[in-house]
Amino acid sequence: MSVHPEKKARIIYHIDMNCFYASVEMAYDKGLKGKPVAIAGNPEERRGIIVTSSYEARDKGVKTTMPIWKAKQLCPELIVLPPRFDRYRLASKKIFQLLAEVTPLVEPVSIDEGYMDVTETNHPVNPVKTAESLQRKILKELDIPCSIGIAPNKFLAKMASDMKKPLGITILRKRELAKTLWPLSIEEMYGVGEKTAEKLRQIDIKTIGDLAKSDAYFLKQTIGINGERMQHQANGIDYRQVDPDAVYDVKSIGSSETLPHDTTDEKEIYLLMDKLAEKVEKRLNRKEMLGQSLQLMIRYHDRKTITRSKKLDHYVETKEEIVSYAMELWNRHWNMDPVRLIGVTVQDIVEKSEAGEQLDLFTYKEAVRKEKLEQTIQHLTEKYGENPFLESEKEKSKETIQPTTSFQKDFLDDYTR
């Protein structure tokens, strides 16, 4: 009879930068340190809301998504800065490069946070000392504070990193969950939103401990299939691996924007859709991808939000196609109320190299025309050399694309280059 040795317990870090955008601005301008700082959009427009703020501002009541005018009421001395995504992207790249020096098992999940699996590293056996060393290095080299959660899995590591900020290091062990995790309110559990928390409270689940000890069948009947996963996590069970390649698992590419005012002006809506479609086209080109579904998001003046999708019989990548299908969904589903925000997303995306050309009665002529054009260009290039007036679209898109929100993830592999 063979005996399988017990698997080595995993050691997972969750690294979370503290007030990332504000911290980056303070690293660039030391005079901002210790002052209430907020990053926000244009104060003259509705989208002038707080994106993030320093702890000094938070102590005065300033919160994310709060309008600038309200933040100024609470904190008259608030220093409001516009977002500088080129700075944040560069800082993010340098941070993840430092993480990768510790272990190759790094999984970025956003511009300012990620997971590390340090189980098999050759660094000191004490995971706390390794975390302290990494935290000091990020602070010394980049002047950016971070908190680190240490646990046997990703969920617990994420929960741990939120428990002590700024510059915290927290260990969350399974055997201590009854004391450290279970007393927390259900709203504090990662992955539980307002609506889910409300449903759970209706069935008398008020703490994470209540969720951990609840009846699995009843839970599933109340909040669906996610109930089982959430209960497992509340009990400290999470088998997900730290996956460095997860950043490439992109399922959609989209862009959204809040209008400066509520509007029913369809010309204004069309111009915004055209702008959003152009951004999506450039990002698709940069990633060399195509999509087979189009989703339109409409947020009305009362914040009611709807999303409507259309599955296509062919792949799309051009601005013209994206706008056309977005307008089709708009014409079908807009209820004539004033609109606050529009979002356009291409879904079911695949790499161009993996997508077989799908020609039908309506597209084959265009495909043939493009093919003939490409053959002509290739012939002229071979005969006369590289055409200096033609710029590679791929290179052009690489140079011009800049992230416009913190929710874009198509630049999270920068640190590997």
The per-residue pLDDT of the chain, averaged, comes to 84
pLDDT band for position 338 (50/70/90)?
very high
Per-residue pLDDT averaged across 220-232, rounded? 87
Task: Considering only CA atoms, give the Rg of the chain.
Answer: 25
Output DSSP code: residue 164. Answer: S
Nearest to 184 by CA among 162, 157, 203, 165: 162
**Is the CB of residue 409 less than 8 Å from the CB of residue 252?**
no
**Is the CB of residue 117 less than 8 Å from the CB of residue 11?**
yes
Token pair of 188 as six digits: 């504090």
Q: What does the pLDDT read at residue 122? A: 58
pLDDT digits (tens, 9 = 90+) for 158-186: 999 999 999 999 999 999 999 999 999 99
Separation CA 180–CA 182 (nearest Å)? 6
The runs of H, that is alpha helices, within 255-343 are: 266-287, 319-333
Q: What does the pLDDT read at residue 245? A: 83
Per-residue pLDDT averaged across 181-209, rounded? 93
Q: Which of 113, 281, 317, 321 is catalytic?
A: 113
pLDDT digits (tens, 9 = 90+) for 271-281: 999 999 999 99
Q: What does the pLDDT read at residue 14? A: 98
Separation CA 345–CA 349 (nearest Å)? 10
pLDDT band for position 155 (50/70/90)?
very high
Q: What does the pLDDT read at residue 373? A: 55
pLDDT digits (tens, 9 = 90+) for 259-268: 888 999 999 9
pLDDT digits (tens, 9 = 90+) for 345-355: 999 888 776 65
CA dihedral of residues 370, 372, 374, 380 (deg, nearest 10):
-150
* Residue predicted with more confidence, 84 or 42: 84
| Percent of the chain residues past pLDDT 70, beyond the cut | 81
N-to-C CA span, the chain: 48
**Is the CB of residue 36 less than 8 Å from the CB of residue 72?**
no
Which residue has 């050399």 as its token pair?
385
- Asked whether residue 408 carries a pLDDT value surpassing 80, the answer given is no
pTM check: above 0.95: no
pLDDT band for position 341 (50/70/90)?
very high
Active site residue 113: yes
Which residue has 């030391």 as its token pair?
30
Q: What does the pLDDT read at residue 172? A: 96
Half-sphere CA count of 243, side-chain side, radius 13 A: 8
User: In 3-state terms, what secondary structure has residue 224?
Assistant: coil
Q: What does the pLDDT read at residue 183? A: 97
Q: What does the pLDDT read at residue 3? A: 38
Highest mean pLDDT among 135-139, 315-319, 412-416: 135-139
pLDDT band for position 120 (50/70/90)?
confident
Nearest to 108 by CA among 409, 417, 383: 409
* Residue predicted with more confidence, 315 or 210: 210
pLDDT digits (tens, 9 = 90+) for 355-403: 544 434 344 445 445 554 555 555 555 555 554 444 444 343 333 333 3
